[in-house]
Structures are given as structure tokens and as C-alpha cells.
Amino acid sequence: MIHVEKPTEDKLVKLDVRSWPIWEKEESEFPWFYDEAETCYILEGDVMVTPENGTPVSFGKGDLVIFDEGLRCTWKINKAIRKHYKFG
């Protein structure tokens, strides 16, 4: 499952998001499997992630996104992405 929310600044501070590593990727499409949960905060970009046999989920700048462990999906990056991320 994919959870998307617009977090408050307080939540970002509480999670210490800005201390997490940053990942960047150009426009592309690729399959992905989450062997552990991931939480990420989108700094830039426009993405659509489609779970295997599921409904596409779109997100972009300012979104906090949580991907559940065990998720199989396809990422489609429509506009280059830059995000903070944390596994586990």
C-alpha cells in the first residue's frame, strides 16, 4: 500500500526528515520491490507509482509518502525527482 499526505512543518521536524539522505532520479520508468518499508519526503518532481494489480498513485513536491514492506510496483517519473528517504 502507498500512503500520501501533506505533512505539517511540525511533523517534518518531529520525523527529522531533513537529516535523511537525498535520492535523485531523472524522468524514467522502472519496476521496484520494497523489501522493507520506506518513508520519503518529496522535494521536487512528479511521480506516478502503480502497485502490481493496483490503482496508480500520484505524488509530488511537498508530499510525505510511505511505501509498505512487500510492495511490488512500477515507478513512472514524469518530472525529475529529488527526495529525502528513510528505510525501515
Q: What is the pLDDT of residue 20?
A: 98
DSSP character for 55? -
Q: Is 2 within 8 Å of 57 (Cβ atoms)?
A: yes
Rounded to 5 degrees, φ, ψ at 15 are -80, -10
User: For the chain, what are the domain ranges?
Assistant: 2-87
Show pLDDT as tens, one digit a residue, over the chain (88 residues).
999 999 999 999 999 999 999 999 999 999 999 999 999 999 999 999 999 999 999 999 999 999 999 999 999 999 999 999 999 9
User: How far is Cα of residue 64 from the mean position of the Cα atoms in its chain?
Assistant: 7
- Give the CATH number of domain 2-87: 2.60.120.10
pTM (two decimals)? 0.95
